[in-house]
Copies of this chain bind each other. A is one copy, B any other.
Amino acid sequence: MEKEYLMIPGPTPVPHEITQAMGSNIFNHRGPKFKDLIEDVTEKLKKVFATSNDLFILTTSGTGAMETGVVNFISPGDKVISLSNGSFGDRLANIARTYNADVENVHSEWGEPLDYEALEKKLDEDKDGKIKAILVVHNESSTGMMNDIERVSKLRKNHPALMIVDTVSSLGAVPVEVDEWNIDVCLTGSQKALLLPPGLAFISVNDRAWEVMQNCTQPVFYFSLQKAKDFLDVGQTPFTPAIPQVVALKEALDMILEKGRQYSFDRHYLMMQSVRKAAEGLGLELLVKEEASASRTVTAIKKPQDIEIKDLRSLMRNKYGVEIAGGQGKLSQEIFRIGHLGAITDMDVLTTIAALEMSLVELGSKVQLGSGVSKAQEVVMQKK
């Protein structure tokens, strides 16, 4: 008998109670039962988003929510700034470029912090408000870098550019304060820190973003937020939603809100620390050096020189049942990534480090068994 540990930055394991909710009977999405459900989960989601803005549930992958965040607010020809330091930041820019935005790249090396100074300069120089939007990813799961959205918000000051923020792999696990940080459009997916399977995505829209949308000339149909609003006003979605995930969402939100957001933030912070300490204990190099910039949901670790990532992943998967992620794009041969978010626990982290140690030893690396686990244990023991 093998137990499987899904330690990738999403999709994440789903708790048993939520899996059970997925098995609910299917019912009419244009009837009173669905109306009660969607109104309930929408209000609860707003608490997790820390917002009183409008908020919508979309039946799509996270990337569909990224597209929704672009096509409803950015007209062809609009100048937008893409702040990026990884694969998902680049994806957001690519979506805007696909839909004919005039995208100005403010890109840093993958694994380096965002270039906040360059952003500030560009905004300061833009006296006539040509820049219509700033596109930025909160948690760059391709590198394990957490970007500072509050700082981006402060740098924007009174510039009219919309902040369109991808929080797919952060919201729920780390503070995302949509109203306090003035995030005009905030989007996330179901399959990361929100304890759900993939299939749904969520997006919040503030008044300023609604105003911009009124004049947006981009064609939009399935991802139309105006349609989403018109239907939510009568307790529906414009198109048939992924009902099992919506039912499960209620269970997940009740679970999250019962313990409170802070409980989840603390838990993810501890897991991040334990993985980082374990890597240090093993003498492995972290891609993101500063803990302050480190993702609390995924950690990227550089591989030992003499080991191939595909061999490490195969051995961990096949012998120990632990699935970790490789690198993406230009880092695919250099790093491996451990996801520690959602229903993953600190004990799963210990198991993963143990499997990592055994696999490294078997592949010929000169690490000491226990040298990573023991460091992770020291962190885990601090939990109250």
Verify if A60 is at the interface (C-beta below 8 Å from B): yes
Which of A19, A59, A99 is most buried by chain B, counting CB atoms within 10 A of its CB?
Answer: A59
**Is A240 touching B62 in the complex (CB atoms < 8 A)?**
yes
Q: Which residues of B contact A197 (CB under 8 A)?
A: 26, 242-244
Which of A26, A59, A317 is most buried by chain B, counting CB atoms within 10 A of its CB?
Answer: A26
Q: Please report the C-alpha to C-alpha distance between residue A95 and residue B223 in the assembled complex, in whole angstroms.
A: 12
Verify if A304 is at the interface (C-beta below 8 Å from B): no
Nearest B residue to A248 via CB reads B244
Q: Which residues of B contact A99 (CB under 8 A)?
A: 219, 221
Verify if A382 is at the interface (C-beta below 8 Å from B): no
Q: Which residues of B contact A98 (CB under 8 A)?
A: 219-221
* Beta-carbon contacts under 8 Å, A184-226 to B: 189, 191, 197-199, 219-223
Q: Please report the C-alpha to C-alpha distance between residue A189 and residue B243 in the assembled complex, in whole angstroms.
A: 14
Q: Please report the C-alpha to C-alpha distance between residue A74 and residue B220 in the assembled complex, in whole angstroms.
A: 15
User: Which one of A8-16, A40-48, A127-135 contacts B?
Assistant: A8-16
Q: Given known contacts A11-B26, A23-B19, A27-B323, is B241 in contact with A198 (CB within 8 Å)?
A: yes
Q: How large is the interface on A (under 10, 10 to 19, 20 to 34, 35 or more residues)?
A: 35 or more
Other-chain residue from B100, B198, B242 in contact with A240 (beta carbon distance below 8 A): B198
A-side binding surface: helix, strand, loop or mixed?
loop
**Is B100 touching A222 in the complex (CB atoms < 8 A)?**
no
* Beta-carbon contacts under 8 Å, A365-383 to B: none
**Is A240 touching B60 in the complex (CB atoms < 8 A)?**
no
Q: Which residues of B contact A28 (CB under 8 A)?
A: 6, 8, 11, 323, 325
* Beta-carbon contacts under 8 Å, A276-330 to B: 317, 323, 325
Rounded to whole Å, the gap between the CB of A171 and the closest CB of chain B is 15
Q: Which residues of B contact A4 (CB under 8 A)?
A: 25, 27
Q: Which residues of B contact A27 (CB under 8 A)?
A: 4, 6, 11, 323
Q: Please report the C-alpha to C-alpha distance between residue A10 and residue B243 in the assembled complex, in whole angstroms.
A: 12
Other-chain residue from B60, B198, B325 in contact with A60 (beta carbon distance below 8 A): B60
Verify if A345 is at the interface (C-beta below 8 Å from B): no
* Beta-carbon contacts under 8 Å, A1-60 to B: 4, 6, 8, 10-14, 19-20, 22-23, 25-31, 59-60
Q: Please report the C-alpha to C-alpha distance between residue A28 and residue B323 in the assembled complex, in whole angstroms.
A: 8
Provide the A140-179 mask, 1 if CB < 8 A to any CB of B, else 0: 0000000000000000000000000000000000000000
Q: Please report the C-alpha to C-alpha distance between residue A98 and residue B243 in the assembled complex, in whole angstroms.
A: 27
Verify if A236 is at the interface (C-beta below 8 Å from B): no
Given A4-B27, A198-B240, A222-B223, 14 other A-B contacts at CB below 8 A? A6-B28, A11-B27, A19-B23, A22-B22, A22-B23, A26-B198, A31-B323, A59-B199, A61-B240, A63-B240, A64-B64, A64-B222, A66-B222, A94-B221
Which chain A residues have a beta carbon within 8 Å of chain B's beta carbons?
A: 4, 6, 8, 10-14, 19-20, 22-23, 25-31, 59-64, 66-67, 94-95, 98-100, 189, 191, 197-199, 219-223, 238-245, 317, 323, 325
Q: List the 5 shortest-distance A-B pairs measured between CB atoms, nearest first.
A: A199-B242, A61-B239, A63-B239, A198-B240, A67-B222
Return 20 A-B CB contacts under 8 Å, by A number. A4-B27, A8-B28, A11-B26, A11-B29, A13-B25, A22-B244, A28-B323, A31-B323, A59-B199, A60-B64, A61-B239, A62-B239, A63-B222, A63-B240, A98-B219, A98-B220, A99-B219, A100-B219, A189-B240, A199-B245
